[in-house]
Structure 1
Amino acid sequence: WGVAVVNIPLNNYYTEYEVKVQAINNVGKGPESEIAVIHSAEDMPQVAPQKPIALAYNSTCFNVTWQPIDMSRENIRGKLIGHRLKYWKTTHQEEDSVYYLSRTTRNWALIVGLQPDTYYFVKVMAYNAAGEGPESERFEERTYRKAPQKPPSSVHVYGINPSTVRVVWRYVSPSQDEEPVEGYKVRIWESDQNMITANNTIVPIGQKLESYINNLTPGKSYNMRVLAYSNGGDGRMSSPTLHFQMGKTTRNGADTRHGHNINTALILSTLLLISTFLYTSH
């Protein structure tokens, strides 16, 4: 491959050029190649993101936003790749900073892996293929205290009818280094599925510590866990996982009585069918 270097004015950063190549020897010039469109090298961005704001997302995460950057050629001096976020504890030196690269042009990013109940400084920079631009002003914010560290206890499930269950549990009392409990989540998913498919039923704090889960499939087996949540995030889930199976709808449409365990209701339905079969056989 042949290589040629052509000097261009400094102000012609990231400029589009049309290029042709032509061979020359002692006899003369050869035919020209087809036109190729290229860009000159990029220069580093000359603008800093304005008005950065970091808001605590939970006990270990910030949601950082800033005003969208003016995408003019003079400011970006190339193609914006993303933003570089710089953060460090306020009790440490800026030289101890950690960096996070957000490879997107959107004007927000999440910083994760922070320490609970800790103050941080945050700065933002734009970057392209040439490097990063100037830093924004710094912003100070504190992460929330820890999420609930204790799981709900005495979790029980009771059958109401073939598609509804009632779930009860005991209150979670947070410690001094935890955020106040905002409510509870009852997490239910089909037993042959992964927990990522679970549906959460929210029970805000102040309500009775119970939840009625409707629209379940008769005859299906389910898993269930309960957790408390707060501004610090989701707490620890109840353990072990509760496994239960919904009762099947009988011909006469009879439902299980309030407060009966689902598996017990299913057994009683089965015994009823067996008794009916024996009676008709005689």
Structure 2
Amino acid sequence: MSDKSIWIEWEQPPQDDYSCEVQEYKIKYRKIQNQQFREAEAVMNQSVALPSSSFIVFNVPRAPDLITNFTLPDLEPSTEYEICVLASGIVGDGPCSNSIFVTTFCPAPGPARKVKGKGGTRKISLAWDPPIETQTFGPVLGYKISCRKRNSRDDFNQRETEQLDFEFSNLDDKTLYEIKVVAYNESGDSPEELLEVQTLPSAPGPARKVKGKGGTRKISLAWDPPIETQTFGPVLGYKISCRKRNSRDDFNQRETEQLDFEFSNLDDKTWYEIRVVAYNESGDSPEELLEVQTLPSDFRFISAFVRARILMKSQRL
């Protein structure tokens, strides 16, 4: 049986009940909501499809070589039929057998629609709409989602879900993947929906050799860029944050594309917490943390006074 056909089989009438020689069999069938029978007559070796109001006729050899099975074609999917079989001879048709009720399979669903994919760092997020609903195919039971690197000969990594979205994780960075989305029901799979999605590069590693120097009401910072790898994309800049040590205030964050920065207008002789973070399109690097103390406000005057005394002493000598 399929979504458009039903295979039936029957036994010959008992020999004692023959009123005449069986010459052929007829199959009567109808949709159970329809009061009018459509008939098909079994004939050996060929079948001719006629309009729905006409018989499908089979020429059957004489007993004991009569055909006792037949596949009813051109039926409607997901439809229940009432079927019976009768024997026919030279004097006419015999009584129908007991009716059986058979429902054709629902066909496989249509493809998932509007399939979209978005690459992230080591992941791909997918979303889609369900197949167009029809009266012929049954409910979609779920979706098979498959993924592998483009041009790879490896088997697809297949998962299943009943939802309309899915996420593949733990993928390689900055890599193009082939994606397949297939809807399925009890009768089989839909046609595949194919797309290609590239994962993003990873976030960069931390800034290196971060150094800070406190001045009068200022802190000067300098660092080296993260170690370059093939997985993360170009560094777009650096986020530098500053606040007083043990403070609950938000960090004062600034951004720069350079490898140095200076916070000014700070309090004198105060410890500050500093954070330096590299970032790219995929996100932020781990933080590099340090603490730096600003100098007292009279540091310049003391330094200048010391230099002046040294200069006067040397002049006397």
Higher RCO structure, 1 or 2 (CA under 8 Å, sep 6+): 1
Of structures 1 and 2, the larger Rg is shown by 2
Greater helix content: 1
* TM-score (normalised: structure 1): 0.46
* TM-score (normalised: structure 2): 0.42
